[in-house]
Amino acid sequence: MIGASGFVGTRLIDLLRNEAEKYAMKNVDIQPSHFFNDITVTGDVRNQDDLDKQIAGSDIVILLAAQHRDDVEPTSLYYDVNVGGMEKTLKAMEKNGCKRIIFFSSVAVYGLNKVNPNEEHPADPFNHYGKSKWQAELVLQEWYKSHPDWNIDIIRPTVIFGERNRGNVYNLLRQISGGKFLMVGKGENKKSMAYVGNIVAFVKYMMDEVTTGYNVFNYVDKPDFTMNQLIDHISKVLNKHIPSTHFPYWLGMFGGYCFDLLAKITGKKLAISSVRVKKFCATTEFDATKAHNCGFKAPYTLGEGLARTLEFEFVHPKPDEIEFKTE
């Protein structure tokens, strides 16, 4: 695994360790692991020598390393890590005779406000993160043309949430559960989400069952919730009334631009921005029929994943202060 010290990688290692006799694992990451330093070695996906050395002896590579925040500077880092890292990983794999890769791409390759796109939908990324993920996929497409005996699997997950995650979904859940939530828009826009327990189970399924060819899967836990349904579900899980005040979209965007200006003046990264308001109000509904019809059975429903996350974060005392910061 490359870049598995983060949120998804940590949960994936934890899952696979339940079958330690089947999976011998190594995590190559520029950061140490909170829980699995016994199998973690220091390595940078931008460093060819690191990858050449650490991939030796591997049967399959799971590429998780990425620059993914909205505010990475300089923007060239998106391409150095997400595209250049892909190119170096493939070269290291070829050198070491490893012919299977699972790559974490993103539904960001589709862009905003697309109508329930499936895997055949044209790519139209709107930001550097989405553009760099799509360029990494193009590298894989070209590679497969000259390496048809390889198994290349691509997962395009929607936003992933779960216990210990500190990204946009957590911020949203915290605001709603704390009664400090301001609804921008009518709340009828659907928000595709994926619970981390399901996404890592899907990776395990692909490792075991999707072992040939070039395959692309969207991953979303279905059915999608609208924002209004999400608030209602949180209210039921926490057994509390959660008021929601609706503000028009134009006013929300105006506030986002004000926070952009404040961030620029102060040099601080703020929780609110025009990009995040735009993403919040966008329709983020994606077709995951292919993933859910391939034989995979998600261990949790979306509602169960949300309940597990809410109970861990806002109901039960936390066992430690370990958190993973994502988008």
Which residues does residue 101 pair with via DSSP β-bridges, in sequence order? 61, 152
Catalytic residue among 23, 79, 110, 129: 129
> Rounded to whole angstroms, how far apart are CA atoms 51 and 134?
22
> In the structure encoding, which two tokens stand for residue 201, read together?
């189970």
Active site residue 249: no
Q: Is the dihedral of CA 182, 187, 191, 194 positive or negative?
A: positive
> In the structure encoding, which two tokens stand for residue 188, read together?
């009828």
Q: What count of other Cβ atoms lies within 10 Å of the Cβ of residue 247?
A: 13
> In the structure encoding, which two tokens stand for residue 150, read together?
């390889």
> Rounded to whole angstroms, how far apart are CA atoms 99 and 149?
8
In 30-176, at which residue ranges do the beta strands (DSSP E only) sit?
40-42, 61-63, 100-104, 151-157, 159-161, 165-166
Instruction: Classify 217 as helix, strand or coil.
Output: strand
User: Which residues does the annotation mark as catalytic?
Assistant: 129
